[in-house]
A and B are shown apart, each in its own frame.
Chain A
């Protein structure tokens, strides 16, 4: 019987395999996608629920514009410096001829430091570079250097940059060391024997190969700094004008006087980190033509 009639059941069979990821999908929808959608939709809604662009237009005030600009600047600078210094340290360990014993501790320490963010990190920097901090006092008593007089204030933009670097640099080290390990010795030697100088090797071979990783890390560091609240909040309190702190204050007490303006503010954050990642993905696909 079964031989004569084609079995039709498979056609109507439920894709049971997909049930296996149902819990995960439910979780992701409820606690990641829906909340994000809520923000996105809310940014285009009036308090009554109608469609509007007014919230986004209302973002265009001096205070909010400068908050975005400061946040972008902060994220760009800490990501750039984090990448540069982290790369230098990673390269020093991988290629600099340093003893092998340095590597393990550096990786462990980077793991710790990249996770040592938020409130305690702010405390550590206040105790070090704050008005009564260790380094501040030491420079003052030993060398007569008054950091304040030189314009350095921990509770300012550059203070925040220095503090953010404490977790940005190690994150870079953690990600880039495996990438540097992936550079084969043969590539360097092949370049050298073909007459290339060290600089030519880096410019024409090593850097293009590392570029996707560098770019990815940069995007990650950017998002990492852009969304960080705790460190800045614990360091400067609510007064520093950056987007996440503004949003924090808005969520807590509707300081903007319009609940849906908060949606727009948050939507702007998603757009910026999202854009950073789109740029990253586009550049990456372009620079990875030579990969499988």
Chain B
């Protein structure tokens, strides 16, 4: 009885999740009349805007990840080591992006950092790119911080630090050679998640008017029939790859630990 219900729930769920995936895949192959073909994908890949926007988003994702790691790892480390009393506040801040919608945050950016403000970031392309990167870092903050903090919890930060200090290591050495390698799996997980979030992000990029992958997909969707599902398949593959990589690094590290 329970098992019947369990299978029912699972199968219903799987159907709901698989149908759109099948749907988009099938649709993306229907560009040529009567037969399945990869024409839609060829079209997409021939489009220079695809490559331009895709590499733009990829670059921004990389920048976001690097910035995020430099921001989050030392902070989480420091809070664990020296400022446990600041923990609730920091955690609250890192969770804010889950409460304040992205569109509100970017709206604030646009009004706060316009050409006549104290920090006219939106005045130049590079300035806007920086602003967008900061926006993405904000979006990724809850995931990044939690991943790194969980990673730090599994190691004894205080003892490792004291041991390193007694051997003469400075703060930079401690962070780069002791802490970072120990939370590398967490950092990588956070990084791939960030990549998955950033690569197809639409709202911030569109409102800041940057040529990112998300707005490109939206534009194509408004004007074409077969390329959009092809893009959806590609985007899904990227998301899947990111999650697969997270699993891979986690599993790999478990094996490493088991061996040690």
Contacts and interface: CB of A to CB of B under 8 A. Distances in A.
A–B direct contact (CB < 8 Å): yes
Interface of A: 17-18, 20-21, 23-24, 27-28, 30-39, 42, 85, 88-89, 91-93, 95-98, 102, 106, 108-109, 111-113, 115-116, 118-129, 132-135, 165-166, 169-170, 220, 223-224, 226-230, 233-234, 237, 244, 247-248, 251-252, 262-263, 266, 269-270, 273-274, 277
B196 interface: yes
Nearest to A20: B78
B207 A96 contact: no
B111 interface: yes
Given A32-B138, A96-B6, A237-B222, A230 B203 contact: yes
Given A127-B232, A227-B102, 10 more contacts: A31-B135, A39-B104, A109-B17, A112-B236, A116-B236, A120-B236, A128-B23, A128-B27, A229-B101, A274-B99
A112 B197 CA distance: 11
B172 interface: no
B202 interface: yes
A237 B23 CA distance: 21
Contacts of B214: 118-119, 230
B7 to A, nearest CB: 7
Nearest to B226: A127
A124 B21 contact: yes
B152 interface: no
Task: Give the size range of B's interface with the partner.
Answer: 35 or more
A135 B18 CA distance: 12
16 contacts: A21-B83, A24-B75, A31-B134, A32-B100, A35-B108, A96-B2, A96-B5, A111-B246, A118-B201, A126-B229, A127-B228, A224-B98, A227-B100, A248-B206, A251-B107, A273-B101
B20 A125 contact: yes
A149 to B, nearest CB: 20
Given A88-B9, A118-B202, A165-B16, A127 B27 contact: yes
B10 A273 contact: no
A224 B244 CA distance: 24
A153 B138 CA distance: 35
Interface stretch (B89-97, B156-164, B176-184): B89-97
Interface in B25-73: 26-28, 71-72
Interface in B169-199: 193, 196-197
Contacts of A108: 243-244, 247
B24 interface: yes
B17 A21 contact: no
For B13, B27, B222, B236, which residue has the most chain A Cβ atoms within 10 angstroms?
B13
Given A27-B137, A95-B2, A36 B105 contact: yes
A88 B236 CA distance: 25
B123 interface: no
A223 B17 contact: no
Main secondary structure of the interface of A (DSSP, over half): helix
For B20, B27, B106, B112, which residue has the most chain A Cβ atoms within 10 angstroms?
B20
Interface of B: 2-3, 5-10, 12-13, 16-17, 19-24, 26-28, 71-72, 74-75, 78-79, 82-83, 86, 90, 93, 96-112, 119, 134-135, 137-138, 141, 193, 196-197, 200-203, 206-207, 214, 217-218, 221-222, 228-229, 231-232, 235-236, 239-240, 242-244, 246-247
Nearest to B26: A134
B103 A227 contact: yes
A89 B243 contact: no
B111 A223 contact: no
Contacts of B83: 17-18, 20-21
A244 B105 CA distance: 12
Given A23-B75, A111-B243, A120 B200 contact: yes
A191 to B, nearest CB: 16
Given A21-B79, A38-B112, A128-B23, A169 B102 contact: no
Contacts of A228: 101
A83 to B, nearest CB: 13
B99 A273 contact: yes
A118 B200 contact: yes
B221 A266 contact: no
A95 B3 CA distance: 9
A17 B82 contact: yes
A222 B135 CA distance: 22
A154 B228 CA distance: 16
